[in-house]
Structure formats: structure tokens, C-alpha cells
Chain A
Amino acid sequence: MSARKADESGATPTRPENQGPAEKATRGTLKYADDHFGSANFLKRSMDKVFPDHWSFMLGEIALYSFVILLLSGVYLTLFFHASQRVVVYDGSYQPLRGVQMTDAYASTLHMSFDVRGGLLMRQIHHWAALLFVTSIVVHMFRVFFTGAFRKPRTINWHIGTILMILGILEGFAGYSLPDDLLSGTGLRIAYSVAESIPVVGTYVCYFLFGGNYPGQDIIPRLFIIHVLLVPGILLALISAHMMILWHQKHTDFPGPGKTEHNVIGTKFYPGFFLKTNGFLFMVFGMVAGLAAFAQINPVWLYGPYNAGQVSAGSQPDWYILFLEGSLRMMPNWETHLWHHTIAWNIFIPGVIIPGLMFNLLALYPNIEAWVLKDKGYHNLLDRPRDVPVRTGLGVMSLTFYMVLVAGGANDILANTFHWSLQATTWVLRVLLIVLPPISFKITKRICLGLQHHDEALLHHGVETGIIRRLPSGAYIEVEEPLPAKKAETLAKQIGYHGHDDHHELPAGKNGHAAEPPSPHGQTITRPVSVAAKVRGKLEDFWDEPRETVPDTQPHPEA
């Protein structure tokens, strides 16, 4: 064994004389690959790649593995699904719908659910995996956002990730629409109306997408090919790029003992990480299969086939569409009529402009933050959310805005469950949408500063023991114990990482005033600066929260 360990003595490694058949076959295969691809060096470096350990780094893996499950289960479903809006009369084994007219899409969905053994299981696996895919992407993005993992050099990977999330939502919506049941048809009807509301081109967009007036005969076959080929192809390409960039750039890690901006500490990809991550793939798959077995999802047979004249109350879409539903429900009923044209602000704003703004801000946040802070440095070590109160506050603020929209998408359920008036519920949510985000920003920032204070106290005063001691002089003191050495070191690293002014690697004049050296005549000339620079300066003031420190301790190096 040890003979195979990498040897730094400088001696050239040689293949051993007596090789067993398995070893011979393995070495032979690897040599064959190297002879044809020159792969030995790459392979060695890849197997030795070090991955840091932290539970939050597994969130992205869940997304990756649910994508694998989606591909596998999705291919199975295509073997039975008929993407056609041809009208047929159902005569399968689900009694309540026998003799009912429906599209072939819906009939084949019923067929695979009731007449194909394991078909229902596959459908439910596919649907649960889809929910898990979008959910884990979103939670993974929380991790990346709140720890600042999106900073240079990983900004472009954040952009790719945002596109992946948006595509995941679109892909989910397309797949959800394919069975052509009453619930999904209602969703498509609303999507058509949203597209129709786009000024000037909306009607044409709808007619080209749906092949005419709603619902037409084309949307299911077109969504099918978008759902099974076009979007998955793009997803696959972007996921590959996402992974390759991650691989090349190496993973970020939290600050800690021995960790610097210039190293990675963790487990080698092969065999340790490889075995664990394989196990994790099976675990994720197992969880999805368990959900599919025992938690019913999207029972399309209960909704009935799509009918333009029917709708069912209390019908909510999958959770990731709920925020759009909420923004549509909360929007005031504004509409403009001008020169024989109509602009439906009541749909265009909540259905197109709001999600457009949200996704763009999300995608561009890293660029905005770097611009405001003039941060051009590389960051391989992560922030703890408390150490960057403004970013954390902005994140929680955006999440609050989003959550109020989600609540708005369930306003009828809320009103019904708590016996509130529907109108009052909607009005309260409208007010909360404006009021709650800034409040949550303030509170979050305050909590972060409090936690910073707590950290400083822990480091410089130690842990409270609960023991009060009376001094001979009569004074009472609280006995504090210093932190255990290991914890203290970790904490010091985490705080120290922020103690120095790492945002300003390239110092520049604050507040947009580019200070010039004194002129030969001895006056300081302040060069006039652009509006953009002034805005940037103001924003930087807003961003730069001085660290909370504990006053009565030894002076902090940078304080």
C-alpha cells in the first residue's frame, strides 16, 4: 500500500513487478486512457482535489442529485406520455372518469397512473424531485448569499446559478402544465393572460406561443418539447459549466484555524469525498422515493380534464409559482386606455415587471456590492452573516418581500383558515409588502450587531459561569471563564477576518470625492465627480457598518 503513496523523495515511480489480475486490469485501463487522452495528470490532480467539510456545502449537491433523479424518472414518463391535445374518450381503469372526453395528454397521464405498474410512483418521484430541485437551489442560494460566496472570483458562477434557478422554475411550470388537468390548465390560462398584457407585442407573443387563441391545439406538444429537450439541454449545459467552474476555482470555506485565503483544508475527492457524495446521492433518491410512496402529490385524477368553463376554488400552484400568484392578487386594479389601446398594469406590473426586477436584482447583487464597496479582491474565505450586517439585512429584507408575496398567493386559504375577511387580508398584505421589508432590515441589522457584540465579549471576557463572587472590598464581580483554546482561536479567526478592512484593497476617495495630492501651490484640489460616483459614495456609507466592539478590552489592532 504505502509503496503507492505519492513519494516526494524524488525517485521516479515504477510499476511493480508482480501485479495481480485486478491491479493489472486497472493499471492497463488507466494507461490506455492516458495513451489516448493524456489523462493521467488531470486524473491524479482531480482525485487529489480537496473539498472542505461543512453541512451547508451539501445543499447544492441535493440540487444536483435531484436533477439526476429528474432525468431518470422523466425519461421513464416520456415512454408513456402522449403530448397531444387530440380529444379522446377515456376508457381506462379509473372508474369515475370513464366515458369522459379529455385530451390524449390527460388520458395518457391517467393511463400511466392507473394502468402502468410503478407509473404512479414514477410520476410522484418526478414531481417530488422537481419540488426538491427548486427548493434546494433556493436554499443553496441562501447559503451562497448570506456567506458572501458569490464574491470574486465566483460572481459569474452566481449569475449561472441564478439562471439555473429561473430555468428550474420555468421547467417546473412547463412540466406541471403537461397533464392538461383542470388545475394546470387554469395556470396556463393565467400565464396566457400575463403574456397578453405585454404592451404592443403581447397578443402576438400569445398567438405564436399557443398557435392562436387560448387554449388552441399546440401548447401541450410545444411545452412538451420545451420541457423534455430544450430546457433540460440548457440546464445540463449550465450545470456542467457551474460544476466545472466550481471544480476549477476550488470550494470556499469558513475562516478557522489554519485556514487562509490561499489554502483549502478538507477531504480529498477520491476516495473519501467520492464515497460520501455517492452515499448522499442514494440518500436523496431514497428520500424522494419515500415521499413518492407515502405522500400523494398532484392527484390529477381528482381535478378532472381541463375545461375552459370550469375552475376549482382554493387551487394553488406549486410553491415556487406562489409569489407570482400573490403579486397578481395583491395588485391594485390599474388599467390605462390610450388611443384605442389598453395597457393592463394590473397584470403587467405584478406578472412581468416585479419578477423581472426581482430576478435581475438577485443576479446582479454581487456586481452591485462589489461596485459600492470598490471591492476588487479575491475572496475564498466566507463571511458569517453577522459579520456583514448590511448584506444580511438586505437579504432578509428581500426575503421578507418575497414571503409577503407568497402569503398573498394564499390569501384565500389564510382568510378561510383564520376566518378573516378576504378583503381585509388582502389589504393588510398590501401594506405589509411595503412596510415589513424595511423593518426587517433594521431588525436583522440590529441582531447582527448584537451578535458581533456577543462574540467580542466572548473572546475578550469569556463565558459567563453564573458565579457571583464578593470581593473583600464588598464589591460583587461575575466570574467569567475564558473560552476553550480551540473555540477562541476559531472565533478570533472569524472576527479577525473582518477586523481588517478587507473591502478596500484598492483604496479610493470616499463619498465620491477623489482626493488629489496638494497642488504645487499648496491647496488641495477636489476634483468634481460624476453623479454615479456620488451615489456610490453614499451607498458605501450606508454599507460600511463599523464593527461592534467591547469598549473595555485591549485595543483592537484596527480600531
Chain B
Amino acid sequence: MTDDSGVPSPRKRVGRRPAAENPSNVGERTSDMAVTEQHASSAEEEKFAELQVAALFGAGIVMLIFFTVCYFTISIRHNIGQYSNYALGGSLALALFSIGGGFIVWAKKLLPKEKTVQDRHDFNSPEADEIEAENTFLQGVDDMGLGRHKLLRRTLLGALGLFPLPLVIMLRDLGPLPHNSLLVTGWKKGTRLVDADTKLPIKLGSIEIGGIQTVVPEGVEDINDYALAPTMLIRFGPNQILSKKERDWGYQDHVAYSKICTHAGCPISLYEQQTHHLLCPCHQSTFDMSRDAKVIFGPAARPLPQLRIGVNAAGEFIALGNYSQAVGPSFWERRA
């Protein structure tokens, strides 16, 4: 689109403006501008260009009408609305392309091709003006006595400094203070472990060896109310748990660990049965579930917290208490 030629390439000037009446204004200067280069097109060229532009605008009109027809005739019930989307979007796109193309052809073919040179004026003001502005400002400071009246100046700064205080204070009720609420997970002593989807209790023996199930505390209606609650109940084969503490906190080869990653809080979901490795899909922290959920790879710094579990008289898994440490990502108040 750029015409880089710095050399004027004169063409014959014909068209509806007779040359005599419209002398080339190459070299014409206004206050800060000069046209260096200009050529016009012939009458036939102009006529053809007009047809091109009109065809493009016309295509735009047709497409906009087509859009309207499609809107009312194509149901969005078919193929989850995809047909409607193709038709509406396609016709809109074509309409916009046509109109846009019309403008561009118009500009390129029908406007006089001219290159204009314009002066850039000095950017900053003459030094005298700058100094006068500075003086006026400083004179005002003098008149107000900001330099002389120390007490005035200090109280002014104090008042203006405190002025945003109400605005900031009023943000206080945006949320509660954290206190110990980051420790609340919904787990208490005796809470039954229920399936995250069916909300049914888990019976001893219902998980196969090598199996894993996401559980939540019984009575939690919406898991998003207890986002730190999701827990994994994992069943190992005999003697596969390599840590005594892990065995002690579990029940008969079953152990329960927080599902919330200690790195950025994603729910961990990828369990490798053979190696007992658990991988977080967000940032790939990997935990060895047979060794206290030790971190073996990735950005997580701490093992997943373990939930002490037992089995009630009905043979259902229950928690023996809340997690003994904060679940999920680290935060300033977290005790190691």
C-alpha cells in the first residue's frame, strides 16, 4: 500500500476536472504543508472503480439481508446451534468484508493520489514561555504562602494524606478476616466419608486394590462451600504402604489424603496405580502416595496432608478428626 517513490511521477491529468480549471497543485504550500506528488485517474478508470466500490457495498447489502433471513429461518435447535452460528457468522463476516473492501477500494482508486509533506513544529515551547509558566506557578506558591506557613503546610499534607482513609476503611467489609478459617475443611471426628458424586457412604471393601475415590464429608451439599474438603481415599495392596505413620493413620491398607495440591490448590487427579505416584494436572507436582505423599517432582514444597480415618460399626469409613494441618497452598500465617 505504500508508495515509496520520492520522485513525482507525473501522469496525464484527464477526467471530469479539465486541466485548465484545476492546475496541478503540486508544490502548493499552505502554512505548514506542501503537496509533493499527485496524479489523477482517467474518466474510464474512475467509472470502473465506482462500479467496483458499488459492487462491494451491494454485496454488503445482500449479505446483511441474508443474515436477517438466516436469523429467522435457521433454528438453533439443530446441531446445538452450530448451523445457525455458521450462517449468521458467515454472512456477517462477508457483509463486513464487503463494506470494508468498498471503503478501501474507494480510498485507493477514487481519491486523488497525493503525498503531502507537513512540517513538524518544535515540540517544546520557546524557552521564554517555559520560564514564564514556571514563574507563574512559583508565584502562585509564593502567594499562597506554602513556603512561609509551615503549620499550614503540614496540616494540609496531613489532611490530604488522611483524606483517602474513609475510602480504604470502607473496604473492610469486603470480606471476613481469615482467623482460623483456612483450617476449616468440613471434616470432624466421626464424619462419614461419602462419594463426591453420589453422596453415599463408602463401605470397607467397596474399593478395589489400587483403586482411588474422591470423597467429601457427609452433609456437604455443595462442594464449592467447602473447597478444601475434597479428599482421596486410596486402597493399597498388602504391605505396599512404606511409611508407618501413613499405615497408622489409615485403616487396613486404606489411606485418605487431601486432594487439594499444596502448590496452587488444584484438585489432584492423575493416579498411577503401579508406582503409587499422584500427579497434579495443573503444574505437574508429583507425590509418592506410598511414602507419606512425599513430593518427588514439581513445584509443590510440601506433602499432601493425611486425614486419619477409621471404620464405624456399620463398616463405613469415617474421619477420626480434622486434618492436623492446613490443607492446600501455603500462606503467610501457616505454621510449618
Binding site for B on A (CB under 8 A): 1-2, 5-6, 8, 48-50, 53-55, 87, 93-94, 101, 113-115, 117-118, 120-121, 124-125, 153, 186, 189-190, 192-194, 196-204, 206-216, 218, 249-250, 256-258, 261-268, 271-272, 275-276, 278-287, 289-290, 292-294, 301, 306-315, 325, 328-335, 337, 340-344, 346-347, 350, 378, 380, 411-412, 422-423, 426, 486, 489-490
Contact = CB atoms under 8 A, between A and B. Distances in A.
A256 B6 contact: yes
Contacts of B92: 121, 286, 289, 293
Given A264-B120, A265-B116, A294-B90, A190 B224 contact: no
B263 interface: yes
B278 interface: no
A342 B100 contact: no
Interface in B269-302: 269-270, 281-285, 295, 297-302
Nearest to A53: B2
A9 B50 CA distance: 34
Given A250-B120, A265-B36, A289-B93, A202 B283 contact: no
Nearest to B90: A293
Nearest to A273: B107
B4 A490 contact: yes
Across the A-B interface, the 5 shortest Cβ-Cβ residue pairs? A293-B89, A282-B100, A279-B103, A257-B6, A286-B96
Contact of B107 (A196, A272, A490): A272
Contact of B329 (A281, A347, A378): A347
Nearest to B269: A311
B264 A347 contact: yes
A66 B328 CA distance: 39
A366 to B, nearest CB: 16
B118 to A, nearest CB: 4
Contact of A309 (B116, B214, B281): B214
Nearest to B172: A208
Given A196-B330, A257-B6, A282-B99, A275 B106 contact: yes
B1 interface: yes
B77 interface: yes
Contacts of A329: 283-284, 298-299
A115 B94 CA distance: 24
B250 interface: no
Interface in B221-241: 222-224, 226-230
B216 interface: yes
Nearest to A493: B6
A114 B264 contact: no
B120 to A, nearest CB: 5
B54 to A, nearest CB: 15
B304 to A, nearest CB: 13
Interface in B83-112: 84-86, 88-90, 92-97, 99-104, 106-108, 111
Name B's interface SS: loop
B89 A290 contact: yes
A5 B299 contact: no
17 contacts: A2-B22, A54-B2, A101-B222, A197-B331, A213-B181, A215-B224, A256-B4, A256-B6, A258-B6, A275-B111, A290-B97, A309-B214, A328-B299, A344-B330, A347-B330, A422-B284, A426-B284
Interface of B: 1-7, 17, 21-23, 25, 28-30, 33, 36, 71, 76-77, 80-81, 84-86, 88-90, 92-97, 99-104, 106-108, 111, 114-120, 123, 171, 174-178, 181-182, 184, 196, 214, 216, 222-224, 226-230, 259, 263-270, 281-285, 295, 297-302, 328-336
A203 B331 CA distance: 6
A50 B104 contact: no
A342 B299 contact: no
Contacts of B267: 308-311
Contacts of A332: 299
Given A101-B222, A189-B266, A193-B263, A340 B335 contact: yes
Contacts of B80: 94, 114, 301
Contacts of B301: 333-335, 344, 346
Contacts of A215: 224, 227
A341 B264 contact: no
Contact of B93 (A55, A293, A325): A293
A1 B92 CA distance: 38
B300 A265 contact: no
A266 B118 CA distance: 8
A6 B33 CA distance: 11
A192 to B, nearest CB: 7
Given A121-B88, A214-B227, A285-B96, A209 B174 contact: yes
A282 B103 contact: yes
Given A101-B222, A264-B117, A285-B100, A192 B281 contact: no
Contact of A279 (B81, B100, B281, B330): B100
Contacts of A343: 330, 332
Contacts of B295: 333
B330 to A, nearest CB: 4
Contacts of A1: 17, 22
Nearest to B226: A308
Contacts of B119: 262-263
Contacts of A117: 71, 76, 84, 88
A380 B120 contact: yes
A167 to B, nearest CB: 21
A424 to B, nearest CB: 11
B331 A342 contact: yes
B74 to A, nearest CB: 9
A6 B34 CA distance: 11
Contact of B282 (A190, A293, A294): A190
Given A117-B71, A282-B96, A332-B299, A275 B330 contact: no
Contacts of B5: 486
A215 B90 CA distance: 39
A490 B267 CA distance: 61
Given A212-B175, A250-B120, A271 B111 contact: yes
Nearest to A101: B222
Nearest to B329: A193
B264 A189 contact: yes
Given A186-B266, A218-B175, A490-B4, A307 B224 contact: yes
A313 B111 CA distance: 56
Given A1-B22, A207-B178, A280-B100, A341 B332 contact: yes
Contact of B224 (A285, A292, A306): A306
A202 to B, nearest CB: 5
Contacts of A6: 28, 30
Given A207-B176, A256-B6, A267 B116 contact: yes
Contacts of A211: 174-176
A340 B184 CA distance: 19
Contact of B332 (A87, A114, A268, A342): A342
Nearest to A313: B281
A54 B8 CA distance: 19
A208 B263 CA distance: 21
A280 B1 CA distance: 13
B281 A314 contact: yes
